[in-house]
Structure 1
């Protein structure tokens, strides 16, 4: 009986003392670094912004800083609609959004190998032609005429299209068509997307998603005198 009494007394003592000891421990100090503050971004977009694991959240690492900054502004200002992003950036200043964009633009982790495509050879060929040549009969410029011959983008405002999942590409082209994704007028991507048929979107997305990203994937800078050579006037692309 004495043993049981002592055991109960000891347990009661521990129950009373442990919470006090926990409160007495110094709080863990979280480093106030930009990388630490961007944990909310990498929670979805992956470490260093290399892409989420579910095939929906895109790679943002290495994208041109000007492009990333404008997308953050678009989420904050309602031109792009995704509740989690809109909530995160709702009260962030322009300066902080630029800091976020600059951080991820300077990250260059390796790309994952593209997944094999289930699309037929004819569908992939249709996608290749639209990406590299466009369709003159519909006055549709090639993707490569704006996004660069290697499809890795043109800094500071035009993103690369390689290394992105097929489902993400389909979703974004669909968003341009429906108007749930917008850009500053004139909205050139909306103009292009409005001419795409469902089979065009499937073909382009399938072909792009299966392309290997070149070793030198850093977007070259679009020079001031080259803006006039772009096939469309884009409000989001300004010298």
Structure 2
């Protein structure tokens, strides 16, 4: 597992360097349609199960937009929305959203201790690695490797994605394979706790 993660980090990191060429000013011109679901600047989605795009990571977001457009990642709410955008348009959108300010939620204090333990130390008994290893101790992500920022993300969205990784409905990429292996070892209660914790992490 450690060799797989190391290989993916290197491969994704090299790919990411080739795609960090977005123009945020150009991206802003195409971002208006995104605000209908993700809020102005991608900071306040209209539903808690939609992701915050602000500051999530340029390389990560570009890759997700590309996967959604190609069909490698299925997001029914996004069907057809990216069809008329070029690869450069997607890079520009990713650059624009990555420069927007991040809002932090208030974590549920009843879940913080358990969520922090999982995020920072994993679960040795079940083989869950620490989330901080890839997403950083402050939840800022890893831009060169293309791992997203989690700090401040909607708890409902994080929980939804962890369950999607666990049940195989979010798959098809190398990073999804890593997350599927991690999520398969998480209980519903652990998912709720760690999702809540990252919503207030900064």
Q: Considering the TM-score relative to the shorter chain, is it more than 0.5?
A: yes
| Aligned match of 1:133 | 121
- Structure 2 length normalisation: TM-score? 0.78
- Structure 1 length normalisation: TM-score? 0.66
8 Å contact from structure 1 (residues 124, 207) kept in 2: yes
Q: 2:59 aligns to what SS in structure 1?
A: helix
Q: 2: distance between equivalents of 1:110 and 1:100? A: 16
- Asked which structure has the greater RCO (Cα within 8 Å, sep 6+), the reply is 2
Which of 180, 192, 197 is the matching residue for 1:202?
Answer: 192
Q: 2: distance between equivalents of 1:178 and 1:79? A: 16
| Aligned match of 1:28 | none
**Higher gyration radius (CA):** 1
Q: 1:138 aligns to what SS in structure 2?
A: coil
Give structure 2 stretches of 5+ with no counterpart.
1-25
- 1:116, distance to aligned residue in structure 2 (A): 4.8
Structure 1 segments, 4+ long, off by >6 Å, are none
Q: 2: distance between equivalents of 1:65 and 1:209? A: 20
| Aligned match of 1:96 | 89
Does 1:181 pair with 2:191? no
8 Å contact from structure 1 (residues 78, 86) kept in 2: no
Q: 2:80 aligns to what SS in structure 1?
A: helix
8 Å contact from structure 2 (residues 115, 193) kept in 1: yes
How many residue pairs were aligned?
175
8 Å contact from structure 1 (residues 69, 97) kept in 2: yes
Cα pair distance change 1:98/1:158, threshold 3 Å: same
| Aligned match of 1:190 | 180
Which of 48, 63, 67 is the matching residue for 2:60?
Answer: 67
Deviates more, 1:142-151 or 1:84-93: 84-93
Q: 2: distance between equivalents of 1:110 and 1:198? A: 27
Give structure 1 stretches of 5+ with no counterpart.
1-32, 214-239
| Aligned match of 1:166 | 155
Structure with the larger helix share: 2
